[in-house]
Amino acid sequence: MNVMEVLANMIKPFLDGEKPPLHVGEVMNLWFYWTATEQTMRGEQVSHNIVEHPKLKEKLKEVIEDVHGPILRELSDFLHKEGIPIPDIPPDKPVGDFRHIPEGSKLSDEEVANLLSFNLVLGINYACRGMVEAVRPDVATMFAQFQMKKLTFAITLKELLVKEGWMKVPPSYVSTAAK
């Protein structure tokens, strides 16, 4: 299988500018991904205001500006061009120093880092679903790009989780059935 040939064949039908309408599954996957991205980004904005670890603060800024912000804008533009209504986006959360919220009333840096990691895993998995369920190659390609953005960022976040001892690792499994 030649990957370049597969990609060329995927794009060929759209060279004439004709695109079939989105099917209901594509609309649902796109709309859900838009909603999940918007809500996730709001949580990241709040988290950016409360974390104390400087590298984690940088990672939150990076995921907002380089991953979720661009994804949200691209999805908004695409859905608008396709005539799919989306709800109004609430304003961004203000940037401030809210680190003096009492412990126990906010997530710890470790909890924020693991929530960010968990949300990335969900976003990567859901992008895969959107990609394989898409009929239109442009929709599949968009989901593939979202998946790669999140995957690329997740690799660098994992380094921070491991370095700080925040990584949640399941227990080892040793089968006793063979004994």
Q: What is the pTM of this model?
A: 0.85
Tell me which residue has tokens 């009333």: 105
Of 66 and 101, the structure prediction assigns the larger pLDDT to 66
What is the percent of the chain with per-residue pLDDT over 90, rounded to a whole number?
71
The structural domains of the chain, with segments of one domain joined by +, span: 22-88+108-164
Q: Shortest CA distance to 153 belongs to which of 145, 164, 165? A: 145
Measured from the Cβ of residue 59, the count of other Cβ atoms closer than 10 Å reads 23
Measured from the Cβ of residue 158, the count of other Cβ atoms closer than 10 Å reads 13
Selected from 1.20.1260.10, 3.50.50.60, 3.90.1150.10, 1.10.10.10, the CATH number assigned to the domain covering 22-88+108-164 reads: 1.20.1260.10
Write the pLDDT tens digit of every residue in 68-103: 999 999 999 999 999 999 988 888 877 777 767 777
Write the pLDDT tens digit of every residue in 9-60: 666 665 566 788 999 999 999 999 999 999 999 999 999 999 999 999 999 9
